Amino acid sequence: MSRSVTHASFTITRHWNHAPARVFEAFAKEEAKRKWFAPGVESFDRIFDFREGGRETMSGKHPDGKVSAFDCVYRDIVTPTATEAGRIIYSYVMHLNGAKISVSQAAIEILPEAGGTKLVLTEYGDYLDGYDDAGSREHGTNWLMDLLEKSLTD
């Protein structure tokens, strides 16, 4: 068992020709979020309380048998207008097959721009080694191949 913490952050930016209010709603309304956040996952332990201090949880069994658990607390919620930026900031913990794999914070900035919305997602996290790393070479190679496949289909 090796124990370590990797501190990392990354940013993903998207541009959509949809109004900021619609983008915000896709995060704020459960029936909308359900459509895109984790479709195809058999989910349980669902809580959806979208307000500052509110909690969202979802556990899911994935088609490959993995069980993941997402547990978040909303820290800052600002509704965007046609001209002013909105944001959603939450902290969350992820478990995979019962092991805690990360403690992180996600900041989703919803920014009005000409013709639509710019979304900037920034995640800051502590990523944890939570279990025996036996076979990491094989896993590392598989991960690399997945990464390659994804970059080829982009």
Partner 1 sequence: MLNYQLDRTFAALADPTRRAMVERLVQGPATVSELAKPLPMSLPAAMLHLKVLEECGLVTSEKTGRVRTCRIDPLVLSQAEKWVGERRQMWERSLDRLGAFLDQTKPEDQS
Would you say the C-alpha torsion 121, 33, 125, 1 has a positive or negative sign? negative
Where does this chain touch partner 1 (CB under 8 A) — which range of 31-39, 53-61, 71-79, 80-88?
A: 31-39
CB 101 within 8 A of CB 130: yes
Q: Which residue from 106, 87, 94, 89 is spatially nearest to 54, judged by alpha carbons? A: 89
H helices of 7-129, where? 20-28, 30-37
Nearer to partner 1, 49 or 146 (CB): 146
Pattern 101-140, partner 1, x by CB under 8 A: xx-x--------------x-x-x-x-xxxxx-x--xx-xx
Report the residue number, 35 or 44, with the smaller CB distance to partner 1.
Answer: 35
**Six token digits for residue 128:** 């944890």
Q: Which stretch binds partner 1 (CB under 8 A): 9-17, 44-52, 53-61, 72-80?
A: 9-17
Taking the complex as a whole, the smallest distance from the CB of residue 7 to partner 1 amounts, in Å, to: 7
Name which of 10 and 63 has its Cβ closer to partner 1: 10
b/e per residue 74-104 (b: at least 16 CB within 10 A): beebeebeeeebbbbbbebbbbeeeeebbeb
Q: Which residues bind partner 1 (CB under 8 A)?
A: 2, 4-10, 12, 14, 16, 18-19, 22-23, 26, 32, 35-39, 94, 101-102, 104, 119, 121, 123, 125, 127-131, 133, 136-137, 139-141, 143-148, 150-152
